[in-house]
Amino acid sequence: MKLFDFIKNFGKDEDGAVTVDWVVLTAALVGLGILVIGAVRTGLTDLSGDIRGELESIEPGDTTTVGD
């Protein structure tokens, strides 16, 4: 009988519920961040390659505008 009472009370107990909510929300934000990084990673890699190419094409002492 005590076991059933314990299980019933355990299900009704709300202590720690806020902690569980914060853990779930934090996990959701981390997951969202990972998805965003995955979505923009390719574009950023391409853009950084373009910037690197432009910077490497500039000769030291050259005062012209990039892309001319």
Does 46 fall in a domain? yes
Does residue 2 surpass a pLDDT of 70? yes
Task: Write the CB contacts of 36 (distance below 8 Å, at least 6 apart in sequence).
Answer: none
What does pLDDT average to over the chain? 85
What's the whole-number mean pLDDT along residues 11-36? 87
Per-residue pLDDT of 52-66, as tens digits, reads 998 888 888 777 665
Domain boundaries, position 39: 2-57
Q: Which residues contact 58 (CB under 8 A, 6 or more apart)?
A: 66
6 in a domain, yes or no?
yes
Number of folded domains that form the chain: 1
Any domain includes 13: yes
Output the pTM of the full model: 0.51
